[in-house]
Chains A and B, each alone.
Chain A
Amino acid sequence: MRDEGVKWALLLPAVGWILTFTVYPLVFSLLLSFQNWNLTSPPTWAGLANYVRAVQDPRTHNALRVTGLFVGATVAAELLLGFALALLFHRPMRGIRLLRAVVVAPLFTSPIALAFLGMMLFHEEDGPIAHLVRAVGAGKVHWLSDPTTALGSVVLLDIWQWTPFAFLVFLAGLAGVPQEPIEAAIVDGAGRWALFRHVLLPLLTPVIVTALLFKLIYSVKVFDLAFGLTGGGPGISTEVLALYIHRQGLEFFNLGYASSLSYIFLVLVSLTCIGLVLRVRHLYERL
Chain B
Amino acid sequence: MERAALGALLLAVLIWVLFPLYWAGITSLKEPTETFRPTLLPFVQFIPTLANWQDQFRLAGRDILRDLQNSLLVAAASASLALLLGSMAGYALARFPFYVGPLRNHDIATWFLSQVILPPAVVVIPFFLFMQRLGLLDTPLALILAHTTMNLPLATLLMRDTFLSLPVELEEAALVDGASRLRALVHVVLPLAAPALVSTGILAFAFSWNEFIYALTLTFERATTIPLLIAGAKMSQGIQFWFVSVRVLLALLPPVLLAFAVQRYVVRGLTLGALH
Chain A residues near B (Cβ < 8 Å): 2-3, 6-8, 10-11, 13-15, 17-18, 21-22, 24-26, 28-29, 32, 85, 88-89, 93, 95-96, 98-114, 116-117, 119-121, 123, 125-126, 128, 131-132, 135, 160, 164-165, 168-169, 172-173, 207, 210-211, 214, 217, 220-221, 223-224, 227-228, 241-243, 245-246, 249-250, 255, 258-259, 262-263, 265-266, 269-270, 273-274, 277, 280-281, 283-287
Contact = CB atoms under 8 A, between A and B. Distances in A.
A113 B125 contact: no
Given A100-B263, A249-B124, 5 more contacts: A6-B96, A11-B92, A110-B255, A223-B213, A269-B119
B166 to A, nearest CB: 13
A98 B110 contact: no
A63 B271 CA distance: 27
A256 B21 CA distance: 41
A277 B114 contact: yes
Given A228-B231, A262-B122, A270 B117 contact: yes
B85 A17 contact: yes
B41 interface: no
Given A7-B96, A223-B213, A287-B106, A116 B248 contact: yes
B121 A18 contact: no
Given A14-B156, A105-B21, A169-B271, A112 B89 contact: no
Given A7-B96, A108-B259, A245 B121 contact: yes
A14 B86 contact: yes
A153 B239 CA distance: 17
A262 B122 CA distance: 5
Interface stretch (B1-9, B51-59, B61-69): B1-9
Contacts of A105: 17-18, 21, 256, 259
Give the contact-size bracket for chain B.
35 or more
A221 B244 contact: no
17 contacts: A7-B98, A11-B93, A18-B115, A18-B153, A28-B130, A29-B123, A113-B230, A120-B23, A120-B239, A132-B38, A160-B20, A173-B275, A214-B274, A245-B121, A246-B121, A280-B274, A284-B110
Given A7-B98, A17-B148, A18-B149, A277 B110 contact: yes
Nearest to A20: B149
A15 B113 CA distance: 12
B88 A14 contact: yes
B10 interface: yes
Contact of A283 (B10, B85, B263, B275): B275
A72 B110 CA distance: 25
Contact of B96 (A3, A26, A211): A3
Nearest to A16: B85
A168 B268 CA distance: 10
A116 B232 CA distance: 11
Nearest to A264: B122
B125 A110 contact: no
A110 B123 contact: no
Nearest to A160: B20
B157 interface: yes
A186 to B, nearest CB: 19
A25 B126 contact: yes
Contacts of A126: 35-37, 241
B259 A98 contact: no
A25 B127 contact: yes
B212 interface: yes
Contacts of A17: 85, 148-149, 152
Contacts of A285: 106, 109
A287 B16 CA distance: 43
Contacts of A273: 117
User: Could you say which of A120, A132, A255 has the most chain B C-beta atoms within 10 Å of its C-beta?
Assistant: A120
B179 to A, nearest CB: 12
Contacts of A112: 210, 212, 227, 230-231, 251
A264 to B, nearest CB: 10
A224 B122 contact: no
Interface string B205-217: 0100110110011
Contacts of A165: 267, 270
A287 B160 CA distance: 10
Contacts of B176: none
Contacts of B233: 116
A110 B16 contact: no
B21 to A, nearest CB: 7
Nearest to A103: B17
User: Could you say which of A11, A88, A107, A280 has the most chain B C-beta atoms within 10 Å of its C-beta?
Assistant: A11
A104 B199 CA distance: 14
User: Could you say which of B7, B20, B263 has the most chain A C-beta atoms within 10 Å of its C-beta?
Assistant: B20
A269 B121 CA distance: 12
Q: Which 9 A-B pairs have the closest CB atoms?
A: A25-B126, A242-B121, A14-B89, A131-B38, A10-B92, A7-B96, A113-B251, A108-B259, A110-B210
B73 interface: no
B13 interface: yes
